[in-house]
Structure formats: structure tokens, C-alpha cells
Amino acid sequence: MMDKLNVSALKEYSLAYAKRLSDYFFIDNELVTGKQMLRFCDVQQVNLLMVGGLFEAWQREINRFRSPYFDYEATEVKETLKAFLDTASRHIAVKKTDFEPLLSKAVYDTLLLIFSPRQYFKEWLSEAFQEEIAPARLQEYLKYIQINKFILKGLIERMGSEARASLPVAEASRWLDEIIHSRAEQLEEPRKFEEVFSEKLLLDAQSFTSEPAPVVPPVSILVVEAIPANRESATEEPPFAPPRNGPIELSLNERFSKEQQTLNDSLRQATKGTTLDRQLKTRIENIKSAIPLNQKFVFINELFKGDAAAYHQALNELEQCSTYQSANQLLRESYAKAYGWNMDGEEAEAFFEIIERKFY
């Protein structure tokens, strides 16, 4: 667990990661639904916090909607409002401009939960409660926490064991410190999450550490002393060597260029094992919707050299084909030659298998 985090680096990565996933997803989609949000990211904690953030924002809007001229506690009003909320919650639809900030915030909070859970929970308590903490609110939020869940759960259990109906935020913060200190061995290992995040965008955990300010050596005053003729010259001391600087944090552009080969190598593995026996395959109606986000990354980067527009155009043209033979010919003549596909490679094989399922 990191004691001090480089918040700027954390936010920079979160924004870049959210943009990358959003750009790929919204190539083929105008909106993201609630079901898609729950499986949008490979790190499930991101999905949970994203949905939790959406419902919290929605709850604030509902509270602002309440008018002083109506009785919202009336049974009929409460039942009608509940029915409306239940129905609306099954029809979540978010545009890219609204979704990307939601995703970025969820990524940032997830990284805090991984690398500094103490900081995450203390910040959340300060934002969610003004002075007193209510156990019911903690219990409600618990369902959105997956990583280092024992911390929040421990706080709830302690409030219950001490029969506390409420708890000052400052005291809750001290309890959090005690829980983390006494159960440090239960903290999640960050490395496994680093690997999953890096499949989409290289995550360098070292860039998240706050480097100490450089030590500036004191300026010494040179005192010139007359040296007698018969006195031997003093041995000269070696010049002062300033301490080596720590690792220099990479800029966002440098990280993107550095990670490109690693990303492609990692994502290439996503296509392994896609070959199924013909009898196990099922027909698809729409090619775009049949390609999961992970494979879309692979196809765009490996088969279309990163050209998302060409990938999108190819799928549109394939949808117009009436037979698999015409689709196969289109790909080979218009795209395989232009982009130098390895027709025996895993990526091309997986792509053709998906196209074939369109014409069963």
C-alpha cells in the first residue's frame, strides 16, 4: 500500500484509460446501457463504482426534484415514485460525452482502492457525510465495493458491536486506521490488477508514487587561508556529487508510445482459443455486436494497423454482403492485401470465423 500518491499521475492515467475504452466502444454504439456498464471493464470494481456513481448522481437529482407543495410521504406517492424509479433503472442509456467522465472517475477511485485504500475510504467518508456517519448508508454502499471490502465491512461490524447508531467522521477515520493496521495482511495485492489494466493501457505503478522534493545541498562559503611555503598542500577532496534523481515520470505521450508493442502482444492472447467446432457455433445477426470489446482491440490494432475508421468501414461493407463467399472475397481483396494480413495468423482466423457465423 502506498502512503503518498501522485494524484496528477493517477488522474492522467484514469482519463487516458477511460478515453481509450470509450473510443473503442462507441465506434459501434451510440449509447451504453446498464447491462453493458456492468461488464464494460475487465476490472469489475470499475464497473461497480461506475454504476454506484450513476445511482448516487440520480438520487441527488431526485432529491432536487422534490417540491415543498406535495406530500412525498403519502403511500400512493411513494409507491408510484418507487415504480417509476424501478422502471427507469431498467432503461439506463448514457451517451459518450456523459459516460466518459463517469468511467474516468470510477477508474480513479478503483486505483485509489488498490494502491491507497486508506485514502479512498477517508475521502469517501468526507464527501458522503457531513458530520455523523449512519450504518445504513455504509451498508448500502458496501455492495459497490469489491476490492479491500473488509475495511468498510469491518467499520460496519464495529459500529454494530458497539451499538453505535451514528459515528462522527473523525472517529470513523481513526477506526479505519486501526482496521487497516490490524488486518494489513488482508490487503489486496496490487500487481494482479496492474496486469489487467495494462492489457488496455500500460500501467506503471511507480509513476503513482509521490517523489520527495530534491535535496538541495547547502551553499558553502569558501574561506581562503594563507598557506605557509613549507606546508604541504592539503589533499583535495573530490567534488560534491549531487544525489541521483529518482526515476523520471513518463509523460502521457511517452507512455502511449512505450506501451504500444506491449499492448498488442498482450491483447493478441485474447484471440487464442476462439476456434470452436462448427457444430458449437451459433449464427449471428449483427457482426459488430458479436465482437466483444477485447477482440475489437485486437482486430483494430493487428488487422487494421490501428485504423478504427477502416475497421468500421469494413464491418459496414460486410453487412451488405449476401453470402460468405462474397464477404470472404471482399476481405481478401480490399483489406487483407492493403494491411498485410497473415492469413494463417490467429487474429485473421478469429476474424473470419466471426464473419462466417453471419452467413450460417
pTM, two decimals, is: 0.67
pLDDT of residue 184: 93
- 296-324 pLDDT, tens per residue? 888 988 899 888 888 989 999 999 999 99
Taking residues 133-151, report their average pLDDT.
Answer: 93
Burial class (CB in 10 A: 0-12, 13-18, 19+), 35: exposed
**266: pLDDT strictly greater than 80:** no
- 20 versus 59: the higher-pLDDT residue is 20
Please say whether the beta carbons of 343 and 319 come within 8 A.
no
- What residues contact residue 241 under an 8 Å CB cut-off, 6+ apart? none
Per-residue pLDDT reduced to its tens digit, 199-246 = 999 999 888 886 544 555 555 444 444 444 444 444 444 443 444 444
**Which residues, at least 6 apart from 328, have a Cβ–Cβ distance to it below 8 Å?**
352, 355
| Residue 113 · residue 120 · CB < 8 Å | yes
| Confidence band of 247 (pLDDT split at 50, 70, 90) | very low
Measured CA to CA, the distance from residue 18 to residue 124 in angstroms comes to 21
Percent share of the chain, pLDDT over 70: 79
CA 124 to chain CA mean position, Å = 18
DSSP letter at 131 equals S
Statement: residue 65 has pLDDT above 50:
yes
Say which residue the cell 503518498 belongs to: 4
What is the average pLDDT across 1-26?
A: 89
The cell for 189 is 495485492
CA 46/CA 14 separation, integer angstroms: 11
